[in-house]
Chain A
């Protein structure tokens, strides 16, 4: 009897399909939507405020979009807003940031990738020591070095110039980038390196012809880390650049925190968005590589 009934019962194969509105899924989507709104609302407020004129802002409701959008605030933020005594807008700061970021990124990545390659593939006598020092170096708080670096850059004759900021960014980028590159290169198959040596490739040729073409993910990670880090930096810019060379972030601060005259919220919002545009673009363009590279670097080491 029991055998009969069990034989005639059709047992489902595999997991039960989930309904469209399963409680778990509803919860996940609710959470995701709420979080997205939480992060998007400030951006929304900034964009619509920057498109209003001051009269509209005084009407008080920051959530209502304007009927008469104007780009005046954006133009003013870029070219006429007062940062301290100069009323030249963010444009000079933008170019200062560009002149700081490009060489710092290139030099720090070039040096770090080669150091990482050396540590991973050409172990020398004190390689382990160097590695440990780098590891420690990447955990020491920046603040400790601020004053010594003022003296060092002064003695080098570059204090209060863009070169000082470039120098400081390059140096501070090295420990963490070197670690990143070392771990990535250590995770590549060792036999490839051996094969290249048997083929007669030397130090540079192995680096440029064999390893670098395989290392796009880690180079994109390094570029993203450095570009966003250096672009967003405030501290080094304010200390080492000197008043005429302030990067964009410092000028933004000066615009937003200036205490004289009318508070121009629309200009401040526009200036903030303008400053954040470069890292935002970088993230949007290379987010995929960023995740992939971080994962790749994390495999070994």
Chain B
């Protein structure tokens, strides 16, 4: 039994199709992140799961129950919003107990749940304060607490960390991960931040234009992106794309005047292709003074960006800009002529027309 199951879900606003025949199964206790640029429909999908938006077609199942037309409160979900959405006139305790009182839970049960949530989230001392007297991080903890006391199967997070500053964001990110390990609930988490997605997710659903482009674990998403969009969206700096063609029955890639041997490529049958794109992440390229063994390309150093732990070299390669991640010791002055060693085993090859991975 899937914890959350979306079957052929479509959503139209008038003539605009926001979500297109979407299917998504989330396993019990799984942490799934919906990732995509703004306007891709990720928050919309989450609102549909929560029952805050009526869908145009399809079904939503939660814990083996068809909840397509159930009220948000009857779906067994708790939701955390980007703007915290705490009731400003109620105390923290009031915020936590509001839903429980409506549900008609006995007083001692409510007390027990609030105490537990306060302990897990360390908000005990804040219980009698109003949200206005809390910091952003504290507010978001209370918002998570409000989902927690509901004692639900599925947590829905709608960009919960986007309103926080960078330091708090990374702290709370770890806490959410810890919370997931501790509670073991199913979590569906919307973000546009790929770091959050890569660190938190068991599986990531990369979305664009109301369609899930790829649904896989972070490792696969990063190393074997299914199409050009996913390849370009994940990773910072982005993957280097070399436009050329596959030749010699798919055993080599022609880039300008250069011939790159594809023999180590980890993918499907390449074959000859008129237009193909070879994608290489900055860390899968090495810099050498002389041409190394295996596939390589000559290039010229343009800019050296020192990031502290490592360094980003921006090079010119046949008029195209290429980025390479090198250890700090590998720093080179501008204008140095170098050779780039390509790790074809970790490269991704795409068909330029279909934009799909080969």
Could you tell me which A residues sit within 8 Å of B by CB distance?
Answer: 189, 191-192, 194-201, 205, 209-210, 213-214
Contact = CB atoms under 8 A, between A and B. Distances in A.
A194 B99 contact: no
B87 A200 contact: no
Given A191-B81, A205-B102, A209-B98, A198 B87 contact: no
Contacts of A198: 50, 52, 72-73, 77-79, 99
B85 A213 contact: no
Given A199-B102, A200-B71, A201-B98, A192 B146 contact: no
B176 to A, nearest CB: 18
A199 B74 CA distance: 9
A197 B88 contact: no
A200 B103 contact: yes
Contacts of A201: 73, 98-99, 102
6 contacts: A191-B85, A192-B85, A194-B47, A195-B79, A197-B72, A200-B72
Nearest to A199: B99
Q: Name A's interface SS.
A: helix
Contacts of B87: 192, 195-196, 209-210
B182 interface: no
Interface of B: 47, 50-52, 71-74, 77-79, 81-83, 85-89, 98-99, 102-103, 146, 150, 158
A251 B357 CA distance: 87
Given A195-B79, A195-B146, A209-B87, 11 more contacts: A191-B82, A191-B85, A194-B47, A194-B79, A195-B86, A197-B51, A197-B52, A197-B72, A198-B52, A199-B73, A200-B73
Contacts of A200: 71-74, 99, 102-103
Residue among A194, A199, A213 facing the most chain B CB atoms (10 A cut-off): A199
A192 B84 CA distance: 8
A92 to B, nearest CB: 42
Contact of A199 (B47, B51, B83, B98): B98
Nearest to B79: A198
Contacts of A210: 87
Nearest to B80: A195
A114 B266 CA distance: 63
A208 B320 CA distance: 62
Residue among A191, A195, A201, A209 facing the most chain B CB atoms (10 A cut-off): A195
Given A189-B83, A200-B73, A214-B89, A194 B52 contact: yes
Contacts of A189: 83, 85
